[in-house]
Homo-oligomer: A and B are copies of this chain.
Amino acid sequence: MEEKVTPLFALRHSAAHLLAQAVTELYPETKLTIGPVTEHGFFYDFLPEKNFTIDDLPAIEKRMHELAKKNYEIRGGQVPKAEASALYPNNQFKQELIDGIPGETVGIYYQGDFFDLCRGGHVERLGEIKHFRLTAVSGSYWRADRSGIALQRITGIAFLTKEDMDAYFERVEEAKKYDHRTLGPELDLFSFHEESAGGVFFHPKGTKIFHELLAWSRHLQEKDGYVEIKTPLLNHESLYKTSGHYDNYKENAYEVMVEGHPHWIRPMNCPSCVLFFKQKPHSYRELPMRIAEYGLCHRYELSGVLHGLFRVRSFTQDDAHIFCMPAQLEDEIVKVLELTQKIYKPFGFTELKIAVATRPIKSMGTDEMWSQSISSLTKGLDTLNLDYEMKDGEGAFYGPKIEIQIEDRLGRLWQCGTVQVDFNMPHNFKIGVVQSDQSKAEPVIIHRAIYGSIERFMGILIEHTKGHLPFWLSPVQMTVLTITDKQEAGAREYQKQLQAAGFRVEIDASSDKISAKIRRSQLSKIPMMLVVGGREIEQGVVTVRRSDGSQESGVAIDALIEKAKEMLLY
């Protein structure tokens, strides 16, 4: 068993069996495949005669409860493979599973007449499975192979107690409120349109956030000696054959015919950056070269898996490729990790979960290249006293990498940053750097992204902050709210002064009551409201009301500008 059999695991694993039993009874022609435990429950993949719909779930759930009440004992154990095989005369999936299990025997477990191929780890009796719910039907593929057999997945959740299940649903409700797909349109940040599935329409406020995220990254990258390029999206597929992406990415790339030749809308920026690097010869003295591109990428995703800003068909990477000699790797890794910490810091992402993925069985390059570069990665992490775990054998075939996860306020982990060493691309593109003795040497490339996808990072931020973006990032930073019409001219004067100082300031000079104006600004999650009545105008001050409810009166505009400037990043 790979998973640890906790009582919760046993419960969920058994719930998957119970689901399979109910489906078998209701739809006897259905073929069973696999049914693993998940983060909150379980799923089971079936090949039914006719696709399931969401409307079938209540009946299946009802049958599960009926079967649970019969309280069958779950019993079973190891049987010879031939015997197990004979139990599935018409099920190629189970046959394939049995063939794939090492050893002479496999586990078969029974509950009533129903049996399933299984490694064990159950509750004792079905009656223990009380608190569960079926939540979704979706399409899936046998062995997750898209070109293979299409299956139907029924997903459920299961808990040990009613309290746990209720708490789960509460968390789901809470998360829904702060789901970026709800908050985004509510705050007028972005929308989606059916004419462009998986493409984000950034509204003016969302566009501001996007640009501020880029500006922050640019600011720090320029200090670190990065240069920025801008390269085309539409490239001849030969570029991806050279880079080696062709075989692995073909099904994720959009193909376009141009004058009879297949081109790709680029799914990644790396090959374009290498073309730029190669356009003239380079001396070792120019290295390391840190070349950034905020590159727009398109990847073919099934419309069914698209998910707000988290999974889109087009996105912008804060990509960079560092061309350096192997001896420079460690220093560059330290610099990249420091930059990563700096970029994440103002969002409150200070706790990073880091892993180093090492050489897989199928891989290129010499042992020396691998051990030297893995040691550069770990030394770099050690230099900065960063904790990390080793993921043995989980690197790419062309080099080891560092994976960086951030933890949001809901305790969820998101992998955004990656630092990937690449021996392959310099080799494929035959990049040589002229050494001091005029000979040519092959540099390595570090691929690195910190936000990852700007779109996805924005989605994470919106949920992380529940829409209350930090002051520097807010598309509208202040609203000037007049108490009566008389203050309009004065309020506009304030707005002008604040805008001249570089702030994004709106005004609400409508004839609504001040309480309504405050409410409106709060709903728009504007960090600073500046309330202006007759006395304020007379004295040249405002009352500052923050989104947390705190308030300060008699603040002069100059003093306000000083305070607000302290909340900017640079």
Q: Check B254 against A228 for contact (C-beta < 8 Å).
A: no
Q: Check B298 against A234 for contact (C-beta < 8 Å).
A: yes
A261-283 interface mask toward B, CB cutoff 8 Å, 1 = contact, 0 = none?
00001000000100110010000
**Contact A259/B196 with A230-B206, A234-B313 known, Cβ cut-off 8 Å:** no
**Contact A256/B255 with A193-B279, A195-B275, A196-B235 known, Cβ cut-off 8 Å:** yes
Bound complex: CA A349 to CA B349 (Å):
48
Residues of B within 8 A of A298 (CB): 233-234
Tell me, yes or no, whether A471 is within 8 Å of chain B by CB.
Answer: no
Q: Check B255 against A230 for contact (C-beta < 8 Å).
A: no
Kindly report which residue of chain B lies nearest to residue A300, judged by CB atoms.
B258
Q: Check B232 against A200 for contact (C-beta < 8 Å).
A: yes
> In angstroms, how far is the closest chain B Cβ from the Cβ of A293?
9
This protein's copies in its complex: 2
Residues of B within 8 A of A239 (CB): 195-196
CB under 8 Å from chain B, chain A span 171-223:
191, 193-197, 199-204, 206-208, 210
A-side interface mostly: mixed
> In angstroms, how far is the closest chain B Cβ from the Cβ of A464?
22
Residues of B within 8 A of A232 (CB): 196, 199-201, 313-314
Residues of B within 8 A of A136 (CB): none
> In angstroms, how far is the closest chain B Cβ from the Cβ of A332?
18
Which of A210, A231, A298, A314 has its CB near the most chain B CB atoms (within 10 A)? A231
> In angstroms, how far is the closest chain B Cβ from the Cβ of A261?
9
> In angstroms, how far is the closest chain B Cβ from the Cβ of A368?
33
Q: Check B202 against A234 for contact (C-beta < 8 Å).
A: no
Bound complex: CA A202 to CA B279 (Å):
12
- The total of chain A residues at the interface (CB under 8 A) is 47
Tell me, yes or no, whether A546 is within 8 Å of chain B by CB.
Answer: no
Bound complex: CA A314 to CA B266 (Å):
13
Tell me, yes or no, whether A236 is within 8 Å of chain B by CB.
Answer: yes
Kindly report which residue of chain B lies nearest to residue A266, judged by CB atoms.
B196
Residues of B within 8 A of A259 (CB): 302-303
Kindly report which residue of chain B lies nearest to residue A276, judged by CB atoms.
B201
Tell me, yes or no, whether A363 is within 8 Å of chain B by CB.
Answer: no
Tell me, yes or no, whether A390 is within 8 Å of chain B by CB.
Answer: no
Kindly report which residue of chain B lies nearest to residue A203, judged by CB atoms.
B229
Tell me, yes or no, whether A238 is within 8 Å of chain B by CB.
Answer: yes
CB under 8 Å from chain B, chain A span 280-316:
291, 296, 298, 300, 302-303, 313-314
Tell me, yes or no, whether A227 is within 8 Å of chain B by CB.
Answer: yes
**Among the listed B195, B207, B227, B228, which residue makes an inter-chain contact with A230, where contact means beta carbons less than 8 Å apart?**
B207
Q: Check A201 against B272 for contact (C-beta < 8 Å).
A: yes
Residues of B within 8 A of A291 (CB): 204
Nearest first, the 8 closest Cβ-Cβ pairs linking A and B are A199-B232, A204-B227, A202-B230, A195-B239, A196-B232, A196-B235, A195-B236, A207-B230
Give the B-binding residues of A (Cβ under 8 A).
191, 193-197, 199-204, 206-208, 210, 227-236, 238-239, 254-259, 265, 272, 275-276, 279, 291, 296, 298, 300, 302-303, 313-314
